[in-house]
Structure 1
Amino acid sequence: MANTKSAEKRHRQSLKRRARNVTVRGEVKTAVKSAREALATKGGNPTDALKAASKALNKAASKGVLHKRTASRRISRLAKAASKAARA
């Protein structure tokens, strides 16, 4: 347990941040999963799902939940999968 007032405050802050980060990370996971499912189904138009996933990843990166390069890498992989699916 925290011994000082400042340590107690930092602990409270870390709990709040953790809760926020968990929520944002969950939203990102959901968006990416739906984009991957849209790519997997044939005949569908996955552009909206890809846009939503890209937006969620960029927002998470801007909030500091994900590293900027991590978000960029994931967006790139989704785009690569989309182009591969479009070719097939």
Structure 2
Amino acid sequence: MADDTDDDRPRGPEPVEIPLDGPGPFQLPICTDLKDIGLGESLAVLRFETIDHQRVDIPIPIGMLVEIGEACDEALQHAIKSRDGGTTVQ
């Protein structure tokens, strides 16, 4: 990703890292808007806003974005089939 000094966008508060105890699963607050995407050679940072107007930054390897995209496509196809009265495969 680009160096922070190269970016003229306003900065929010310093990030807070919260350790997550145990194996999970962990659930983030409901996110309402994708506010920004930062892309580097091997890492993306997705910036969301929650329903409480808090910023949540999620660092994700680029390869994982491909997998997430494929999973989203499949989930949307199932949702559309279900909505339209078709059968879906579980």
Same fold, TM-score > 0.5, yes or no:
no
More helix by share: 1
More strand by share: 2
Q: TM-score, normalised by structure 1?
A: 0.33
